[in-house]
Chains A and B, each alone.
Chain A
Amino acid sequence: GNSVTQMEGPVTLSEEAFLTINCTYTATGYPSLFWYVQYPGEGLQLLLKATKADDKGSNKGFEATYRKETTSFHLEKGSVQVSDSAVYFCALSDIYTSNTGNQFYFGTGTSLTVIP
């Protein structure tokens, strides 16, 4: 079946530190991979995505590379800011093998707090 496992938080970093949030997946088909971000008091927003192996998604200084050999999609940012404090969700979409509408599989979320 399909599933997503992401690193547990919470994660606390100082401003300008390097961020990595690990995400690994299990899929029976050819999934697309996503990172969503949820800022305090808001809904989820799509941060970046990659639709095939070796693709790199990037947005707002964040990057993640779709690694089929390690079934991973780790989120990285070289220098975090206080405004990056949020909960980050890794997700998988596998429309080719799913015959139901629940085609997105979310990780449990990783809370990031960046301190000045």
Chain B
Amino acid sequence: GAGVSQSPSNKVTEKGKDVELRCDPISGHTALYWYRQRLGQGLEFLIYFQGNSAPDKSGLPSDRFSAERTGESVSTLTIQRTQQEDSAVYLCASTPRQGHYGYTFGSGTRLTVV
């Protein structure tokens, strides 16, 4: 597609429920990144995909968080048993290859856990 597309744009969920966030990168972009942005704070790295493998999962905050990617396309970030501290904007970005050319970000998914 023309840009990085994320869905849903907003999600309100009850504490303890599972949520799934989706990212459609720009066609042909092999690298895909997930970041979390809490209110008023900077970006927190979560996970990176090169193709459909994830060489760096170091940023996932707990085992409730997981992500997968199909080929060099869609990625889903799953949060199980959501907690209030998971409330944040989840941003996805893609690049043609690793980092150097600058990320193209999606508009993010605003997750609110009540």
Contacts and interface: CB of A to CB of B under 8 A. Distances in A.
23 contacts: A34-B102, A42-B107, A43-B105, A43-B108, A44-B43, A44-B91, A44-B105, A46-B102, A89-B42, A93-B100, A93-B102, A95-B100, A100-B58, A101-B47, A101-B55, A102-B45, A102-B48, A102-B56, A102-B59, A103-B100, A104-B103, A106-B42, A106-B43
Contacts of B43: 44, 89, 106
Nearest to A92: B99
A46 B56 contact: no
Interface of B: 4, 6, 31, 33, 41-43, 45, 47-50, 55-56, 58-59, 91, 93, 98-100, 102-108
A104 B99 contact: yes
**Max chain B Cβ within 10 angstroms of own Cβ: one of A43, A44, A89, A98:** A43
A44 B91 CA distance: 9
A28 interface: no
A49 interface: yes
B55 A45 contact: no
Interface of A: 32, 34, 36, 42-46, 49, 51, 89, 93-95, 98, 100-104, 106-109
Given A43-B107, A95-B98, A101 B91 contact: no
Given A32-B100, A49-B102, A102-B48, A43 B42 contact: no
Closest 7 CB pairs of A and B: A101-B48, A103-B99, A108-B42, A101-B56, A43-B107, A43-B105, A44-B105
Given A101-B56, A102-B56, A102-B58, A108 B41 contact: yes
B31 A101 contact: yes
Nearest to A44: B105
Given A46-B104, A104-B103, A109-B41, 5 more contacts: A32-B100, A34-B102, A43-B91, A100-B55, A101-B33
